[in-house]
Amino acid sequence: MAEITASLVKELRERTGAGMMECKKALTESNGDIDAAAEALRKSGAAKADKKADRVTAEGRIGVAQAGGKAVLVEVNSETDFVAKDANFIAFVDAVAQAALASGAADVEALKGARLASGETVEEARAAAIQKLGENIQIRRLAKVDGANTVGAYVHTNGKIGVLVDLAGGNAELAGGLAMHVAAMNPPYNKAADVPAEFVAKEKEIELAKMSEKDKAKPAEILEKIISGKINKIVSEVTLYGQNYVLDGDKTVEQAVKAAGGDVVGFQRLVVGEGIEKVVEDYAAEVAKAMQV
């Protein structure tokens, strides 16, 4: 039996990120063969990942990577905000974003096979992260811009909101400012022309219902002007171009963009966990129930 030294255990830990006792056990079972031990730990990590796959992952972080006219956002989810703030998790998210940018992966499924700078695939690194951090970790979404335009990329300081803005013309400063605006104001649509006709018709119906009988009795052309004014205000509130620019309250976004000779082609906004039903744990009730058994 080969001697399992502390330095050998340390080397295996650095290679795999597994716990000390797991590394020592793997080395013992492989008779000191560090490559075999590393492979065994990776297989073990994949098995653990499978067991945790059904756990809800509604927390996490948005990662961003950018180079010229290319930029990507990735949403990587964890079970708890505690793990989402862990340095190892943050490093994993950043590495996945870089891999997404370098590989040009079109979607999450393709991203799984992309390789990190370390040489391992994203899926292999995910299994290792699950083993190390003890939670289910999922790569949920990927957003990208890949063209010749100016790209604004922004991730909020808490890592929970990420935005990409595709700007034709303009400049990098404006693109970055617009990305911050979208993060803060969350406009559902880009321009008035993008607002669905069904939305406008419904808002007209609502505004008409809210009017007094006296106003409804006004001549048709006046009534139409009143309704149109209200609808224009609503459309301004739900479109990027119609909103007041957060970095210059004296201008709308449209005015700021046109003044810089630009045109917003589109934008994408990701928020960690949006659309996922979170499980709220009632630990007090759980303990009380256990005491009654």
Give me the mean pLDDT over the 105-120 stretch.
95
Reported as a single tens digit per residue, the pLDDT across 181-230 is 999 999 999 999 999 999 999 998 888 888 878 777 788 788 888 888 99
pLDDT value at residue 25: 85
Q: Where in the chain is the domain with CATH 1.10.8.10?
A: 6-52
pLDDT value at residue 7: 84
Superfamily of domain 53-147: Elongation factor Ts, dimerisation domain (3.30.479.20)
Residues 222, 215 contacting (CB under 8 angstroms):
no
The C-alpha atoms of residue 192 and residue 188 are separated, in whole angstroms, by 11
pTM given for the model: 0.75
- Residue 101's φ and ψ, nearest 5 degrees, are -70, -45
Q: Where in the chain is the domain with CATH 3.30.479.20?
A: 53-147
Reported as a single tens digit per residue, the pLDDT across 125-160 is 999 898 888 888 999 999 999 988 999 999 999 999
Burial class (CB in 10 A: 0-12, 13-18, 19+), 181: buried
The C-alpha atoms of residue 265 and residue 249 are separated, in whole angstroms, by 22
**Rounded to a whole number, what is the largest CA-CA distance in the chain?**
98
- Residue 170's φ and ψ, nearest 5 degrees, are 65, -145
Which CATH code of 1.10.8.10, 3.90.1150.200, 1.10.730.10, 1.10.3720.10 fits the domain covering 6-52? Answer: 1.10.8.10
The C-alpha atoms of residue 64 and residue 122 are separated, in whole angstroms, by 15
Give me the mean pLDDT over the 29-39 stretch.
85
